Amino acid sequence: MTSFLFVCIENANRSQMAQAFATMHGGEQVAAYSAGSRPSGLSTPKPLRPWPSWATI
């Protein structure tokens, strides 16, 4: 199993999305985590919007 740690400053958007993508694409072979060096405790609303159907990962 491969482990990944995605870190950004507030852990409110980018690192959480990276963790989700790694988990989606890696399946059981990946353990993904996200963290922040200064966590805000809140999520940014942008990633909570539905992903456009034309955007493929």
11-49: pLDDT as tens digits? 777 888 889 889 989 999 999 998 888 877 766 666 556
Helix (H), strand (E), coil (C) string for the chain: CEEEEEEECCCCCHHHHHHHHHHHHHHHHEEEEEEECCCCCCCCCHHHCCCCCCCCC
**Residue 46 included in any domain:** no
Tell me: the pLDDT tens digits for 29-38? 999 998 888 8
**Residue 28 included in any domain:** yes
**Residue 14 included in any domain:** yes
**Residue 52 included in any domain:** no
pLDDT at 53: 63
**Residue 44 included in any domain:** no
Indicate the pairing of strand 2-8 with strand 30-36. parallel
**Residue 56 included in any domain:** no
What is the number of structural domains in the chain? 1
Domain limits for position 12: 2-39
